[in-house]
């Protein structure tokens, strides 16, 4: 399989995982990957021929340039209107080779209520805790990112962070590989779900400073940030294997 065909498969798989986990609704959302060291980006297409995020196939992953223009897309498939989320991040962050933009409802609730995502757990999900400690930014506009100028505005708000909330809209995750960006999106959704359910049950309390320091000091656990060659690191590969199995039966 060629390198670009492999990348299309990996983008489609990440879409199917996020769709199967109900992290986004029907056709809303898109995932992309960059061929490392190039300006070639492969992204889930939109258009009358699409099946929806959960059922994305490699044939529905099209190439775009850093201007957001589709290159050689088959009839019925177009670059997503929000392609500029992806192209702006690839322009601004050379270390990023994977971007996920989805609309997970539980996370969006936090952008609406302005409730904080507290570090409520440690051993339950150490990578999720590390994400909670990241000072997750929020893009305060709820418009769709349909122009290069809005894309640049959004990328500025996200800065160098792994994930960004988008008020009344969704989330974006960016990492060294598409799999790691998807895992960050999954961890962010879990963080929001636990925060939400804890608030329903009572008065959630962050874990102690001592325990936060313990997890900060550990190097064998934490976020998935291998990157570099556009492929997931060892720990991410192991976790991703589970999600690959989940969508392949």
Residues at the contact surface with Zn ion, assessed by CB under 5 A: 170
In whole angstroms, the minimum distance from the beta carbon of 107 to Zn ion comes to 12
In whole angstroms, the minimum distance from the beta carbon of 2 to Zn ion comes to 30
Taking the C-alpha atoms of residue 112 and residue 220, their distance in angstroms, rounded to an integer, is 35
Q: Which is nearer to Zn ion, 90 or 215 (CB)?
A: 90
Summarize the chain as % helix, strand, coil (round to 5): 45, 15, 45
Which residue's entry shows tokens 């994930």? Answer: 163
Q: Under a CB-based contact definition with an 8 Å cutoff, are residues 15 and 182 in contact?
A: no
In whole angstroms, the minimum distance from the beta carbon of 129 to Zn ion comes to 27
Radius of gyration of the chain (CA): 17
Q: Which is nearer to Zn ion, 170 or 232 (CB)?
A: 170
In whole angstroms, the minimum distance from the beta carbon of 184 to Zn ion comes to 17
Taking the C-alpha atoms of residue 162 and residue 185, their distance in angstroms, rounded to an integer, is 9
In whole angstroms, the minimum distance from the beta carbon of 80 to Zn ion comes to 8
Q: Which residue is nearest to Zn ion (CB)?
A: 170
Taking the C-alpha atoms of residue 49 and residue 1, their distance in angstroms, rounded to an integer, is 25
Taking the C-alpha atoms of residue 164 and residue 136, their distance in angstroms, rounded to an integer, is 6
Q: Under a CB-based contact definition with an 8 Å cutoff, are residues 62 and 43 in contact?
A: yes
Residue 82 is among the residues annotated as catalytic for this protein: yes
**Which tokens belong to 83?**
């392609």
Q: Under a CB-based contact definition with an 8 Å cutoff, are residues 34 and 40 in contact?
A: yes
Q: Give the residue from 172, 120, 127, 128 showing the smallest Cα distance to 150.
A: 172
Q: Which is nearer to Zn ion, 119 or 170 (CB)?
A: 170
Q: Which is nearer to Zn ion, 64 or 120 (CB)?
A: 64
Q: Which is nearer to Zn ion, 93 or 141 (CB)?
A: 141
Name the active-site residue from 82, 95, 134, 179: 82
E runs forming strands in 12-162: 30-34, 41-44, 61-64, 70-71, 98-102, 138-139
Active site residues: 82
């Amino acid at each position: 399989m060629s390198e670009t065909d492999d990348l299309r498969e990996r983008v489609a798989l990440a879409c199917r995982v996020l769709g199967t986990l109900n992290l986004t609704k029907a056709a809303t959302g898109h995932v992309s990957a960059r061929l490392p060291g190039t300006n070639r980006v492969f992204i889930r297409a939109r258009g009358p021929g699409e099946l929806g995020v959960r059922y994305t196939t490699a044939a529905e992953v099209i190439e775009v340039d850093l201007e957001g223009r589709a290159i050689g897309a088959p009839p019925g498939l177009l670059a997503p209107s929000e392609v500029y989320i992806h192209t702006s991040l690839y322009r601004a962050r050379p270390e990023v080779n994977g971007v996920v933009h989805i609309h997970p409802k539980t996370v969006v609730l936090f952008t609406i209520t302005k409730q904080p995502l507290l570090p409520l757990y440690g051993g339950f999900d150490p990578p999720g805790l590390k994400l909670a400690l990241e000072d997750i930014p929020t893009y305060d506009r709820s418009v769709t990112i349909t122009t290069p100028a809005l894309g640049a505005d959004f990328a500025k708000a996200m800065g160098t962070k792994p994930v960004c909330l988008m008020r009344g809209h969704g989330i974006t995750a960016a990492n060294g590989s598409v799999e790691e960006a998807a895992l960050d999106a999954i961890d962010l959704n879990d963080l929001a779900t636990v925060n939400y359910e804890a608030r329903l049950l009572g008065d959630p309390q962050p874990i102690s400073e001592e325990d936060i320091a313990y997890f900060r000091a550990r190097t064998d656990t934490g976020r998935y940030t291998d990157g570099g060659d556009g492929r997931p690191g060892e720990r991410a590969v192991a976790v991703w294997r589970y999600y690959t199995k989940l969508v392949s039966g």
